[in-house]
Structure 1
Amino acid sequence: MFFSKQLASKIGNTLLYNMLLVAIVTIISLLIIFQINVFFKFINDAIGAKKSVNQIKIEKSLTTISGKIGLFIMVVITAPLLEELATRHSIFMLSRYRWLGFFISSFYFVWIHVRLGGDIQNIFSYLGFSLSLSLLFIFSRENVTYSFVIHLINNLISYTVLVAT
């Protein structure tokens, strides 16, 4: 809905002309997000949450080579772009208030991931990452490129670990 030539140009220009800044922000953000996720995983484990339905579906698709390729395209490329446009970019653009957009987009991202399986007990496994991406979106002056790149790299790392095990 909000993807336009102007937005595509902004993403492309950020990646092209601010590559060093994107790399630095990505490395620092991933280190911080990792720590935040450890904290939220501790909470998730403390409440006795089981593996999420979303995670189980992802792992089942890894049984064939076509499943691995399809999962890579979906989880590493398509999902980060579409989720960042739908949660961070669109909601922030629709919200008049930055912090209202922050909370709505953060919880909408979590809802997208827990709604299908009804596994609300896994809310904390997504909440830390979502809050981090929303904060990054604010600090990057609402440039979706940064949250997209970090989301993509996070999913790439997760995908690589899953395939390797």
Structure 2
Amino acid sequence: MDTVNTNNNNDWTNPKQSWDEKIQLKKTMLDRVDPFDFKLVNLNNTGYIFVGTAILAPFFISILITYLFAKNPNAVLVMNIVNWIVVGVGCYFVLSRVQDKLLRTGAIAFYYFYFIPNIISLIAGVILGILKVQTDTTANLVVSWIADVICIVILAKTSPYIFVKIKLTFKQNYKLLIPTVIIALIVTFGFNYIFGLAQAQITPGTSVNQANLLAGLNKWWNVVILAVYTIFTAPIIEELACRHGIFSLTGNKWVSYFASIIYFAGMHVSQTGDWEHFVGYLGASIALASLFIIARGNVTYTIMTHSLLNTVTFILILTVPTLAS
């Protein structure tokens, strides 16, 4: 029971279908029973509040403060605090309008992903400071991994529905899932290559985010932690937040599409302030956001593609170290 065919499913001659519906995967029984709602919220109030406070305003503040103060560490700290406040205020207004919907559908994943890692990092920093333990690559990786696990566990408790759908997708639609993910993986690598070339023309070298992740790979335990983090936990919570969450909280498929692209690429550079490396992250951002639409809002497809992308990249970096530069 992998798919259910109808006469008008993905039919290019059907005038009732929009062009984006025609490029989507054919509907499965799971899509019919539990379709993703691209209009979960009202764009004109909740959607614009979400996009404005969670994406546009924080990124604008980040760019402004970063380059006005030449990436001064104290200025970056102030920037992050201001952004937490802006996103927090927006979160309050969004939750006051659609709290039940966010919890029921799992769209709350976006706010979990935004706040919980920041809170965990702050607590860890205070504890390490009290213990006078120097923060190194291992500590950063462990804290990041723990934060992601906590996000996933809390989401599973508050919004179990989304994990049930992921499980059913593997069980019922694997014949469609596997080839789609393989094709998506190839396309994503192609996009990454193209935007990587563009990035090299703007600013050669690696971003701070990538450099931080790759630091310390000469120690086997860092390799293990990084593998678990980038292959398993990060793709799950990042896709639930950046695709499932954003597309749920915006209220319009195409506004969500561009918001997801901007946020996913921007989150890799916003806290460190190296916006000059923004273009390098656009390839995966565009590919995964497009896949989410093609897969009719089923986040299982983007999780698997993201995980395999990180897996292949990780293996290549270990075997061909020059690729990391």
Match of 2:233 in 1: 78
TM-score, length of structure 2 as denominator length? 0.49
Once residues 61 and 106 of structure 1 are traced to their aligned partners in structure 2, the CA distance between those partners, rounded to angstroms, is 30
Unpaired segments of 5 or more residues in structure 2? Answer: 1-107, 110-154, 321-325
Pairwise CA RMSD = 1.3
Structure 1 residue 134 corresponds to structure 2 residue 289? yes
Give 1:164 deviation, angstroms. Answer: 2.3
SS of equivalent to 2:268: helix
Structure 1 residue 155 corresponds to structure 2 residue 310? yes
Match of 2:78 in 1: none
Higher RCO (CA-CA < 8 Å; seq separation 6+)? 1
Structure 1 residue 117 corresponds to structure 2 residue 272? yes
Once residues 251 and 273 of structure 2 are traced to their aligned partners in structure 1, the CA distance between those partners, rounded to angstroms, is 31
User: Out of 197, 208, 215, which is 1:53 matched to?
Assistant: 208
Give the greater-gyration-radius structure (CA): 2
Once residues 13 and 34 of structure 1 are traced to their aligned partners in structure 2, the CA distance between those partners, rounded to angstroms, is 27
- What amino acid is the match of 1:138? I
- What amino acid is the match of 1:54? N
Higher percent of residues as helix? 1
User: Out of 262, 268, 271, which is 1:107 matched to?
Assistant: 262
Work out the percentage of aligned pairs sharing the same amino acid. 33
State whether residues 61 and 71 of structure 1, in contact with CA within 8 Å, keep that contact through their aligned partners in structure 2.
no
Give 1:163 deviation, angstroms. Answer: 2.2
- What amino acid is the match of 2:176? L
SS of equivalent to 2:279: helix
CA offset digits 1:38-82 (Å, max 9, x no partner): 211111111133211111111113121211111111111111111
Unpaired segments of 5 or more residues in structure 1? Answer: none
Once residues 125 and 132 of structure 1 are traced to their aligned partners in structure 2, the CA distance between those partners, rounded to angstroms, is 13
State whether residues 191 and 284 of structure 2, in contact with CA within 8 Å, keep that contact through their aligned partners in structure 1.
yes
Give 1:111 deviation, angstroms. Answer: 1.4
- What amino acid is the match of 1:67? N
Structure 1 residues 10 and 59, CA, compared in 2 at 3 Å: closer, same or farther?
A: same
Match of 2:183 in 1: 28
Give 1:88 deviation, angstroms. Answer: 0.4
Once residues 277 and 177 of structure 2 are traced to their aligned partners in structure 1, the CA distance between those partners, rounded to angstroms, is 30
